[in-house]
């Protein structure tokens, strides 16, 4: 099994919140029931001279978070996505296609901390919690799901895919993301 971190493809547009409230939705620590409080945010393609010339991919990124999927991608990956989290609708201004934010609720404790490069979390003051993972290494035998996040980062927007999901994405030509192979031990 191989494990990948999805990353933004420079050939596809990134999107961002249309206003500060919409941006905040993607940076909060999700501790409330999302389905009951989700306001269906509006996102935009930044008009920065570069992004506006690019199309949105099936797997789309905000400035930092690779968890927005087109309706087409959701149809193809639905079983994997719904087994690992919640899909929440959102609107992209000027785009007719429907997109969904994927909130991964599936935490798998498979990070090989000793062989990963991490940034300490000084807020929690817990040596087992990090503010970021720079370079992840995983215990392959502990990976129990095709899409997951790790519990060592509390405000965790990073998700990981196994080769099963990446193969489906490539076979169906879902565009917008590249995949960085992670180390395993």
List of residues 6+ apart from 21 with CB closer than 8 A: 41
> How many angstroms separate the CA atoms of 101 and 90, rounded?
7
Query: HEC string of 83-124?
Result: HHEEEEEEEECCCCCCEEEEEECCECCCECHHHCEEEECCCC
Q: Domain extents for the chain? A: 3-110+123-184
Structure confidence by residue, pLDDT tens digits, 84-98 = 998 989 999 999 999
Q: What 3-state DSSP class applies to 23?
A: helix
pLDDT number for residue 131: 87
pTM for the model stands at 0.89
Q: Which pLDDT band holds residue 109 (cuts at 50, 70, 90)? A: very high
Q: Greater confidence, 126 or 100?
A: 100
Q: Is residue 83's pLDDT more than 90?
A: yes
Percent of the chain whose predicted confidence (pLDDT) is above 70: 88
Distances (CA, A) of 81 to 48, 109, 122, 140, 166: 32, 18, 32, 20, 13
Q: Greater confidence, 63 or 129?
A: 129
Structure confidence by residue, pLDDT tens digits, 137-183 = 999 999 999 999 999 987 667 899 999 999 999 999 999 999 999 99
Q: Are 183 and 135 in contact, with CB atoms under 8 Å apart?
A: yes
């Amino acid at each position: 099994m191989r494990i990948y971190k999805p990353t933004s493809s420079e050939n596809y547009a990134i999107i961002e919140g249309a206003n500060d409230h919409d941006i905040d939705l993607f940076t909060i620590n999700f501790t409330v029931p999302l389905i009951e409080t989700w306001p269906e945010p509006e996102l935009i393609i930044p008009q920065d001279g570069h992004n506006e010339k690019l199309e949105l991919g099936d797997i789309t990124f905000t400035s930092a978070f690779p968890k927005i999927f087109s309706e087409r991608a959701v149809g193809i990956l639905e079983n994997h996505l719904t087994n690992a989290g919640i899909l929440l609708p959102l609107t992209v201004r000027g785009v007719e296609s429907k997109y969904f934010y994927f909130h991964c609720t599936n935490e798998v404790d498979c990070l090989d901390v000793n062989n990963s490069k991490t940034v300490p979390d000084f807020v929690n003051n817990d040596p087992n919690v990090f503010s970021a993972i720079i370079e992840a290494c995983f215990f392959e035998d502990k990976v129990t799901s095709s899409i997951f996040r790790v519990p060592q980062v509390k405000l965790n927007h990073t998700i990981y895919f196994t080769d099963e999901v990446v193969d489906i994405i490539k076979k169906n030509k879902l565009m917008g993301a590249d995949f960085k192979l992670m180390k395993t031990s």
